[in-house]
């Protein structure tokens, strides 16, 4: 951490700051410039809270140097983590595809979707049983009944299942049925939920919050990791910007940036990141080309009658085309020996 003193700071103020730095058993390194003094705070690698210094007289600003996350950082753990979804491992350029409806609506709808996902050659089935909806008047999910249908679909197709958790006290119940616990964008900073997921033994698919910086995103992952669960998959699903032509703005930059910063696998959800089925295939291709370890895609046998997210769901035929396109691009990357992590 660097403590930037004001140009008007007195010698006494500088000394007071240094004394405080030392009171926390940290070292202080002084840089006297023509205009101002900068004090480097040197410790043992643990993050130091800037609030400890920001209010001292003569202090202008504090610049952090160390990252605030540790278990999630690639500096701490340089190898790509490989995280299980059923028998598949996600990470290191794996290209695992999860497909399925936004919500489990009925036995027929789910089993038809599951069959389509399986037939297209995808690797896991998604479907929400507990739904976080913007409106209290919208369909809120089938609850445990939905979980049972998901289990039945797994039985039939062999596909591992991914489903959302929305409240800490429901985690044990959902974990009984699901292979992967999804934490949605709106709950990315629901710390009670992150802790509960961290105490579970299931793989967690953590979606980026709509206005979460990459730093916030990795701090949310750190919550789960710090509770002892190492199986975390990050998922970019679009951020909120001024652009209204699409539901969200896909932060495609985030994929190679995350590859540089963390060892955790990264997937892309182009259904949510665009909100428009017409754009989903183009974005799926672009995600794989950018180095994503996999995709999460909304698939529905009859989108015009879906109870949620119909506008962004693919019909089974288009989904099968998308899987083929993603595989073709993945093959190019593999053939050319292009790493999912940018070369530095």
Of residues 68-107, those binding a copy of itself (CB under 8 A)? 68-69, 75
Q: Give the bridge partners for 44, in sequence order.
A: none
Asked if 256 is part of the footprint of a copy of itself (rule: CB under 8 A), the reply reads yes
Residue 163: helix, strand or coil by DSSP?
strand
Residue 329: helix, strand or coil by DSSP?
helix
Shortest Cβ 343–a copy of itself spacing (Å)? 7
Q: Please spell the DSSP secondary structure of 171-217, one letter per residue.
A: HHHHHHH-SEEEE-GGGTT-HHHHHHHHHSSSEEEEEPPTT--HHHH
- End-to-end distance of the chain based on CA atoms, in angstroms? 25
Query: Which one, 75 or 176, has the nearer CB to a copy of itself?
Result: 75
Stretch that binds a copy of itself, among 79-87, 121-129, 153-161, 235-243 (CB under 8 A): 235-243
Return the residue of 23, 87, 201, 243 that touches a copy of itself, per CB under 8 A. 243
Return the residue of 86, 128, 287, 316 that touches a copy of itself, per CB under 8 A. 287
Asked if 190 is part of the footprint of a copy of itself (rule: CB under 8 A), the reply reads yes
Pattern 11-40, binding to a copy of itself, x per CB under 8 A? ------------------xxxxxxxx-x-x
Q: Give the bridge partners for 62, in sequence order.
A: 3
Asked if 145 is part of the footprint of a copy of itself (rule: CB under 8 A), the reply reads no
Return the residue of 25, 51, 79, 87 that touches a copy of itself, per CB under 8 A. 51
Query: Which one, 160 or 287, has the nearer CB to a copy of itself?
Result: 287
Return the residue of 47, 84, 121, 143 that touches a copy of itself, per CB under 8 A. 47
Return the residue of 162, 204, 219, 297 that touches a copy of itself, per CB under 8 A. 219
Query: Which one, 157 or 274, has the nearer CB to a copy of itself?
Result: 274
Q: Give 115's contacts (C-beta < 8 A, 6+ positions apart).
A: 156, 157
Stretch that binds a copy of itself, among 90-98, 118-126, 147-155, 275-283 (CB under 8 A): 275-283
Tell me the C-alpha distance between 23 and 196, whole Å. 36
Residue 231 backbone dihedrals phi, psi, to 5 degrees:
-95, 80
Stretch that binds a copy of itself, among 58-66, 80-88, 118-126, 199-207 (CB under 8 A): 58-66
Pairing of strands 294-298, 96-100: parallel
Shortest Cβ 8–a copy of itself spacing (Å)? 8
Q: Give the bridge partners for 96, in sequence order.
A: 294
Return the residue of 10, 106, 119, 191 that touches a copy of itself, per CB under 8 A. 191
Tell me the C-alpha distance between 72 and 145, whole Å. 35
Which is nearest to 223 in space by CA: 254, 248, 194? Answer: 194
Return the residue of 145, 172, 176, 192 that touches a copy of itself, per CB under 8 A. 192
Burial group, residue 148, by CB count within 10 angstroms (0-12, 13-18, 19+): middle
Query: Which one, 80 or 251, has the nearer CB to a copy of itself?
Result: 251
Structure tokens, 140:
């809120």
Query: Which one, 156 or 333, has the nearer CB to a copy of itself?
Result: 333
Residue 112: helix, strand or coil by DSSP?
helix
Residues in 146-175 at the binding interface with a copy of itself, rule: CB under 8 A: 166-169
Pattern 121-140, binding to a copy of itself, x per CB under 8 A? -----------xxxxxxx--
Which is nearest to 90 in space by CA: 82, 98, 100? Answer: 82
DSSP annotation of 219 reads H
Return the residue of 81, 109, 182, 187 that touches a copy of itself, per CB under 8 A. 187
Asked if 329 is part of the footprint of a copy of itself (rule: CB under 8 A), the reply reads yes
């Amino acid at each position: 951490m660097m403590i930037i003193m004001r140009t008007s700071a007195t010698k006494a103020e500088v000394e007071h700051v240094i004394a405080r730095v030392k009171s926390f058993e940290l070292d202080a390194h002084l840089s006297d410039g023509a205009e101002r003094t900068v004090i480097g705070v040197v410790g043992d690698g643990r993050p130091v809270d800037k609030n400890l210094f920001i209010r001292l007289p003569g202090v202008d600003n504090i610049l952090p140097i160390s990252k605030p996350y540790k278990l999630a950082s690639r500096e701490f753990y340089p190898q790509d983590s490989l995280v299980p979804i059923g028998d598949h491992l996600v990470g290191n350029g794996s290209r695992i595809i999860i497909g399925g409806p936004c919500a489990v609506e009925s036995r027929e709808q789910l089993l038809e979707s599951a069959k389509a996902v399986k037939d297209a050659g995808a690797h896991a089935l998604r479907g929400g049983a507990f739904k976080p909806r913007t409106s209290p008047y919208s369909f809120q999910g089938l609850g445990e009944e939905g979980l049972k249908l998901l289990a039945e679909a797994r039985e039939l197709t062999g596909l591992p299942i991914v489903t959302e958790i929305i409240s800490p006290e429901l985690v044990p119940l959902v974990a009984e049925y699901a292979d992967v616990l999804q934490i949605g964008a709106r709950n990315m900073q629901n710390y009670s939920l992150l802790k509960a997921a961290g105490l579970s033994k299931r793989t967690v698919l953590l979606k980026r919050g709509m206005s979460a910086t990459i730093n916030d995103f990795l701090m949310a992952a750190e919550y789960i990791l710090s509770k002892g669960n190492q199986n975390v998959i990050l998922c970019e699903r679009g951020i909120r910007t001024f652009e209204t032509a699409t539901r969200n703005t896909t932060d495609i930059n985030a994929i190679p940036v995350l590859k540089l910063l963390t060892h955790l696998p990264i997937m892309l959800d182009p259904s949510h990141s665009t909100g428009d089925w017409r754009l989903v295939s183009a974005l799926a291709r672009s995600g794989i080309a950018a180095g994503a370890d996999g995709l999460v895609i909304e698939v529905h046998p009859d989108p015009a009658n879906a109870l949620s997210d119909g506008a962004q769901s693919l019909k089974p035929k288009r989904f099968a085309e998308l899987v083929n396109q993603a595989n073709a691009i993945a093959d190019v990357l593999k053939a050319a020996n292009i790493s999912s992590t940018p070369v530095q």
